[in-house]
A and B are shown apart, each in its own frame.
Chain A
Amino acid sequence: MNGKEVHSVNPVAPETDRIRLLIVDDEEGYVNVLANRLEKRHFDVTKAFSGGDAIRAVRGQDFDVAILDLKMEDMDGIEVLKIFNQMGLDMEIIMLTGHGSQEAAREGISIGAFDYLTKPCELHELIRKINQAYRKRKKSE
C-alpha cells in the first residue's frame, strides 16, 4: 500500500516530510496493528519487539519520534530510555504505560521523554502527540 495515493479522512494530516517512527513494545500484535494503521496515515514506521531490537534499530537509522512501552520482558522502558539518552539520539520519545504506573512515566519525562500515554489509547490522540513531538524536534533543530 506504500506509495499509493490515498484520500483519507484522517483527523491529522501528515507533515510535509514523512515522520520516521520507531514503535517499541514486546506485544507484537500491538506493534503490528499500530504500525499498519500509522503507515496508512503516512508515517514511516519501524517496529521493535524488545528493548534490544529498539537499540539495534536506532544504531542503523535515525528516527524522529519513538513510541516506547515502559514494561517489557527483557528490559524496562526506562532502561531503554536511559540507553537512548546515552547514545545522544536526536529523537523525541512518547512512552506508553499501564494505568497506575504513571510514576515511571513521570520518571521518564524527568530524564528527557517528551510525553506519555496510557494504554490503551485512542489512535488520534497518539497521532496528535506524535505531531507535537515532531514539531518540537523541528523547532529545536
Chain B
Amino acid sequence: MIKDKHKKYYQSLTRNMILSAIIVSFTPMLLVICILLHQFRVSYHEKTYAHLSELVQKHKQNIDAFLNEKLANIRFLAINNSFETINNNDFLQEKLFNLRRDYGNLFVDLGVVDENGIQLAYAGPYGLEKADYADAGWFKKARQVDSFISDVFLGLRGYPHFIVAVKQNGSGRGYLIRATIDFMAFNSLVQNLRVGKTGYAFILNREGKFQTNPAMDYQPNHSGYEFFWTAVEKTKNKILITRWKDDAGIENLYAVGSLKSGQWLLIVKQEAADAFSDLKRMLNIAVLIFMIGGVAIIFMAFYTSKRMVKRIRRADKDKENMNQQIIETGKMASIGELAAGIAHEINNPVAIMVEEAGWIGDLLEEEEFGQSNNLEEFNRALVQINTQGKRCKEITHKLLSFARKTDSTLKDVQLNDIVNEIVSLSAQMAKYNKVIIETRLQKTLPYITISPSEMQQVILNLINNALDSMEKTGGTIRISTKISEVEEEHIVVIVEDDGPGIPEANLLRIFDPFFTTKPVGKGTGLGLSICYGIINKMGGKIDVQSVIGEGTRFRIWIPIQK
C-alpha cells in the first residue's frame, strides 16, 4: 500500500519533470522558429515582389522603347520625305531594305495609305498595292492621331502582326505611312522573359487579347483582367503586384505594368508556389529541424527525468534508512536514561534489604542462638537474601546496558494510557528534580492507530527534556490531551513546562539532528529530531513555543483515522 503510494508519487514526479522540461525547451524553440520564419517570410516576399517589380519595370521600358523606336523610324521616314517621294514603291522598297538591314526581319512591309484607306504605295512580300483599309480597325484609329501603334491582329494576310502608322499632311491631303512589325520578332522580347520554373510574361490589350504568344496555356480571366486595368490605372505608372487564384485553383503572382501609354498591359505571371519555393524549402527545413529537435527534447526529457527520479528515489531511500538509524540511536539513548533512573531507584531498596539481612546475620552471631535448631536455616535464608540482592543488582546493571529496538508495529491505542504510563515511569526522576507532573487528559479521546512504543518515546523525550531544563530550579510539567480545535480530525498532546525557556535562535534549530545545548557527552542532540521524524511518520505535526523565563510548550497533533 505504502509502496504503491510511493510509486504513484514518483510516477507523478517523473511526469511533472518531463512536462516541465518539454514545455521549457519547446516554448523558446517554437517562438524563435516562428519569429525567424515570419521575418524570413516577410523579407522573402518583399524580395520576390521587388524582383518581379523590377523585372516588369525593366521590360516595360524595353518594350516601350522598342515600340517608340519603331514609331520613330517611321516618323523619320515620313517627315524627311515628301508625299511625292514616298508615294513610290521603289522608294519604299529601298527604305524597307535599309530598315531590314538595320533591324533584321522586324519590318515586314511598308506602305502609304491615303485618307480614304487606299494603299497608294507598298513595299513588302504580300503585294498589297491598292489594298483598301477603309474598314480596318487600325486605320480608323490611326486617322484620329498623329502616330499609332495597333494591337496585334491577323488582318488581310492571316498572320499575326501589328501596325505602326504615322499621319502626315502633304500636297493638300492627309496620308498615312504605315509599317508592319513582325509579331514573332516582337514576341521574342516578351517570350524570353522567364521567371523561375513557371513564370512567364505576356501582353494584353484593352480587349483582353494576347498581344504576345504566352509561353503557357493561359486564358485570361475576364474579371481578373478588369481588375488589372483598374488597378494599374489607379497606381499610374507603378508596377502592380497581386496574388490571384486562377480557375484551376492555383495561386499565382501577377506583376502588372502598363505599356504603350496605358493601352497594353505587360503581365508577368508566376505560380506562387514556384515564386516562394525557396521559402517553402526553408519552411520544410525548419519543420524538419523542429521535429528532430522536438524528438531529441522529448527523448532527453524522458531520459533525464527518469534518471533523476531514480536518483531522488535512491536518495529518499537512503534518507529513510538513515532516519531509521537515527531513530534507533535516539531510542537507545532515551531508554538508557530511563533505565539509569530505574536502576538507581531499585538499587537503594535492594541495598537496604541486603544490609538488613547482613544485620540480622550480625545479630545472630552476637546472641547465643547457637543452640537453636533453626540457626542453620536462618543462615541459609540470609545467604539466600544476599544472593537474591546480588541478582537484583545484576538485573539493574543489565537493564542499563539494555538497548532494545522500539517496536514500530501499529496498534489501536488510547493516547491517555500511553501518557499515564510514561508519567508514572518519569515520576521518580521528576521527584529528584523537584518537578511536579500534572496531567489534564480529555477522557473521551477516540482510539488511534499508532505505534505505542514510538509514541512513548516521543512523550518520554519531551518529559526528559523538560526535566533537564528544570534540573536546578524545579517546576511543573503539564501534560494535556484533547481533540484539537485548530486541526480537524486531530488529537493534540501538549507538554508544557515553566522552566527557563529556549532562546529564539535555538528554537529554530531545535528539531535539527545533532543540535544540542547540553555539554559534550551529555546529549546526543537526537531526541527532538527523532520525535519530529516519528510524528511526521504518523502523519501528524509537532511544534514548539517558548518564552524565556516563562517556559516551553510542545504541541503534537496526531490525525484520527476514520
User: A residues engaging B (CB < 8 A)?
Assistant: 1, 6, 8-9, 27, 29-30, 33-34, 36-37, 40, 71, 73, 98-101, 103, 119-121, 123
Contact = CB atoms under 8 A, between A and B. Distances in A.
Nearest to A123: B358
Interface string B427-438: 000011010000
Contacts of B339: 100
A121 B350 CA distance: 10
B552 to A, nearest CB: 24
A40 to B, nearest CB: 5
Interface string B322-356: 00000000000000100110011001111110111
Interface in B358-412: 358-359, 362, 365-366, 389, 393, 396-397, 400
Given A36-B359, A37-B358, A71-B432, A99 B343 contact: yes
Nearest to B471: A76
A101 B351 contact: no
B362 A120 contact: no
B352 A29 contact: yes
Contacts of A123: 355, 358
A99 B352 contact: no
Interface of B: 336, 339-340, 343-344, 347-352, 354-356, 358-359, 362, 365-366, 389, 393, 396-397, 400, 431-432, 434, 521
Given A101-B340, A120-B389, 19 more contacts: A27-B348, A29-B349, A29-B356, A30-B352, A33-B352, A33-B355, A33-B356, A33-B359, A36-B359, A36-B362, A37-B355, A37-B358, A37-B362, A98-B343, A99-B347, A99-B396, A119-B347, A120-B351, A120-B393
B366 A101 contact: no
Contacts of B366: 1, 6, 40
- In terms of DSSP, what is the predominant structure of the interface of chain A? loop
Contacts of A1: 366
Given A33-B359, A100-B400, A101-B340, A8 B348 contact: no
Nearest to A26: B348
Contacts of B434: 73
Contact of A30 (B340, B348, B362, B389): B348
11 contacts: A27-B351, A27-B352, A29-B356, A30-B348, A36-B362, A37-B359, A99-B340, A100-B339, A100-B343, A119-B351, A120-B347
A28 to B, nearest CB: 9
Contacts of A6: 366
Given A40-B362, A99-B397, A71 B355 contact: no
B392 to A, nearest CB: 8
B352 A8 contact: no
Contacts of B356: 29, 33
Most chain B CB inside 10 Å of its own CB: which residue of A6, A29, A73:
A29
A73 B348 CA distance: 13
The 5 closest A-B pairs by CB, nearest first: A120-B351, A98-B344, A33-B355, A100-B340, A29-B352
Contact of A98 (B347, B354, B355, B389): B347
Contacts of B389: 120
